């Protein structure tokens, strides 16, 4: 694999290739990633604020559920309601018991009018080194199959052309729970300045060269590619023009005890993530409560970000008991990890803005520089 271009990698103006959005600081959790150019999206958890995001839900192909507590799963019914009438497969992922729990929710409704519905839920459950899958069809009233599939679980739970998603089991008491790691794959780009210096006209050959490189085709001294009326050595051209931009990495952690066991597992999966989105349910003064309820404190969230060598830490899922001083969590975390922020609640004329989007992560109101933050979904 060609080494990462350091100059391109460290360019502060480098844009994110997807948009993402995180729930408010003390609201039911979710994180939504929108690969706009591909027309696809991934949703992590489905707190109540996913309601109303129908346009994005319609192109959501993957739903990753951390665990089955109501604040993380309350929006599931809305997602299904939005997708009725769609001819698609929604892939769902979660820890032990998620198949039974989601089927039980669906069984609470009558589906006698669903014979012509084409929606399929492909539910994937992971535990004890095994991956279980059941496909529930709406036109079969979401009945469970007689013979579900099972195979060994090793590696990412999602592996698309653009990205991979890993699940890391964490500790949330009696509720099996996952943290998730999203790794965007490296991107091959043409160095436009070098192209101009070589006085080569761009054309269809550019896409061909990139596709051959990304497909892993081996270049030899005899390989040729046509540019206009000339044939040029593909290996030399590839070395001259192709630069690699490192893909972004996001870590999503919610509802767990602090434990070096799962942190070590995560370190083996991801290094230097761009963003760690992490729960901070309790302040450090309430560390005993965090232990009782199997949650993290702001200081523990900061320690995790530091261990992962993250670039930024974004706190969310902060207990409402700390209203109106939620920013205390950020102040505490910054004593350990300086690059800490939280979802901002916008205000207008000294009051909370009534815009329903006020509780989502907004780079315009963030203390993180605009160039280092993804845009927020509109």
Backbone angles phi, psi at 181, to 5 degrees: -120, 125
290, two tokens: 């965090």
Question: What pLDDT is stored for residue 60 in this prediction?
Answer: 95
Which residue's entry shows tokens 């991107």?
187
Sign of the CA dihedral 127, 133, 139, 144? negative
Task: Look at residues 294, 353, 290 and name the one whose alpha carbon lies nearest to residue 322.
Answer: 290
pLDDT in tens, 207-248: 888 887 877 765 665 678 888 788 888 888 888 888 888 899
pLDDT in tens, 358-376: 344 433 333 333 333 333 3
71, two tokens: 């604040």
> What structural domains and CATH numbers belong to the chain?
6-83+155-185+247-372 (3.60.15.10), 191-245 (no CATH)
Q: What is the DSSP letter of 168?
A: E
- Quick check: helix, strand or coil at residue 96? coil
Cα 159 to the chain's mean position, in Å?
A: 13
Please state, in angstroms and rounded to a whole number, the distance separating the CA atoms of residues 267 and 285.
28
For the chain (length 378 residues), average pLDDT per consecutive 10?
Answer: 46 70 93 88 94 87 98 96 95 98 97 95 97 97 92 96 96 96 90 86 83 70 76 84 90 97 97 97 97 97 98 96 94 97 57 38 36 34
Question: What pLDDT is stored for residue 8 in this prediction?
Answer: 46
Per-residue buried b or exposed e for 2-22, using 16+ beta carbons within 10 Å of the residue's own CB: eeebeeeeeeeeeeebbbbbb
pTM, two decimals, is: 0.84
Task: Look at residues 225, 260, 259, 228 and name the one whose alpha carbon lies nearest to residue 240.
Answer: 225
Bridge partners of 40, per DSSP, are: 35
Judged by phi (left if over 0) then psi (alpha if -120 to 50, else beta), residue 24 lies in: beta
What are the distances in angstroms from CA 293 to CA 27, 173, 282, 290, 301? 17, 8, 10, 5, 16
Backbone angles phi, psi at 297, to 5 degrees: -95, 170
Q: CB atoms < 10 A from the CB of 154, how many?
A: 7
Sign of the CA dihedral 250, 256, 258, 264? negative
- Quick check: helix, strand or coil at residue 289? helix
């Amino acid at each position: 694999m060609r080494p990462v271009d350091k100059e391109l990698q460290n360019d502060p103006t480098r844009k994110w290739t997807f948009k993402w959005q995180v729930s408010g600081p003390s609201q039911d959790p979710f994180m939504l990633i929108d690969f706009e150019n591909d027309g696809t999206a991934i949703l992590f958890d489905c707190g109540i604020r996913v309601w109303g995001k129908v346009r994005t839900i319609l192109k959501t192909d993957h739903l990753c559920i951390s665990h089955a507590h109501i604040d993380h799963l309350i929006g599931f019914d809305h997602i299904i309601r939005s997708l009725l009438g769609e001819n698609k497969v929604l892939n769902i992922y979660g820890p032990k018991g998620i198949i039974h729990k989601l089927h039980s929710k669906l069984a609470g409704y009558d589906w006698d009018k669903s014979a012509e519905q084409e929606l399929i839920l492909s539910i994937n459950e992971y535990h004890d080194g095994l991956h279980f899958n059941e496909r529930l069809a709406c036109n079969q009233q979401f009945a469970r199959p007689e013979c579900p599939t099972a195979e060994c679980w090793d590696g990412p739970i999602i592996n698309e052309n653009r990205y991979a998603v890993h699940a890391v089991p964490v500790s949330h008491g009696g509720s099996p729970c996952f943290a998730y790691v999203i790794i965007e794959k490296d991107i091959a780009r043409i160095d436009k300045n070098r192209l101009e210096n070589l006085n080569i006209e761009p054309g269809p050959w550019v896409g061909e060269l990139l596709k051959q490189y990304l497909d892993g085709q081996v270049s030899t001294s005899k390989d040729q590619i046509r540019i206009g009326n000339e044939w040029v050595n593909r290996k030399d051209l590839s070395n001259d023009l192709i630069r690699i931009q490192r893909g972004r990495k996001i870590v999503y952690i919610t509802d767990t005890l602090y434990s070096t066991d799962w942190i070590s597992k995560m370190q083996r999966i991801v290094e230097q993530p761009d963003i760690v989105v992490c729960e901070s349910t309790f302040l450090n003064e309430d560390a005993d409560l965090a232990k009782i309820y199997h949650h993290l404190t702001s200081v523990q969230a900061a320690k995790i970000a530091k261990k992962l060598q993250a670039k930024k830490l974004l706190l969310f899922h902060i207990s409402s008991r700390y209203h109106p001083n939620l920013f205390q969590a950020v102040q505490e975390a910054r004593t350990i990890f300086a690059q800490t922020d939280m979802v901002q609640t916008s205000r207008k004329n000294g009051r909370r803005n009534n815009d329903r989007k006020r509780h989502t992560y907004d780079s315009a109101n963030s203390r993180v520089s605009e160039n280092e933050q993804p845009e927020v979904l509109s």
